[in-house]
């Protein structure tokens, strides 16, 4: 299992995205679909990474730190490419 992003709040591997800390969650990439980014226009500009997980809408990760959020998204993109490459073989 390769770690594609490790930060203070989230870890992205080629198998899962795991939100750390109290109330953290773990999402298997094989069950993710319809991934999107949402930014609140009012307030401090909080960012949300949303997806369908096992058929249900979920907020996978949220942050008001745009730089951290972008790193998480890049890690997830790399992980999803790896997932798709494995499925194509």
Q: What is the pLDDT of residues 28-73, one digit of tens each?
A: 999 999 999 988 777 667 899 999 999 999 999 999 898 999 999 9
User: How many structural domains compose the chain?
Assistant: 1
Give the structural domain span for 79: 3-88
pLDDT on residue 75: 94
Nearest-angstrom CA–CA distance, 16 and 2: 10
Secondary structure (3-state) at 45? coil
Task: Give residues with Cβ within 8 angstroms of 4, minimum separation 6.
Answer: 12, 13, 14, 75, 76, 78, 79, 82
CB 13 within 8 A of CB 2: yes
pTM: 0.87
CATH code, 17: 2.30.29
**Displacement of CA 7 from its chain's centroid (Å):** 12
């Amino acid at each position: 299992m390769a770690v594609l992003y490790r930060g203070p709040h989230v870890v992205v591997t080629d198998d899962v995205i795991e939100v750390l800390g109290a109330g953290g969650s773990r999402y298997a990439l094989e069950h993710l679909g319809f991934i999107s980014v949402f930014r609140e226009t009012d307030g401090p500009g909080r960012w949300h990474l949303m997806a369908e997980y096992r058929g249900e809408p979920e907020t996978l990760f949220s942050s008001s730190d745009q730089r951290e959020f972008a790193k998480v998204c890049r890690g997830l993109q790399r992980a999803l490419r790896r997932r798709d490459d494995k499925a194509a073989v």
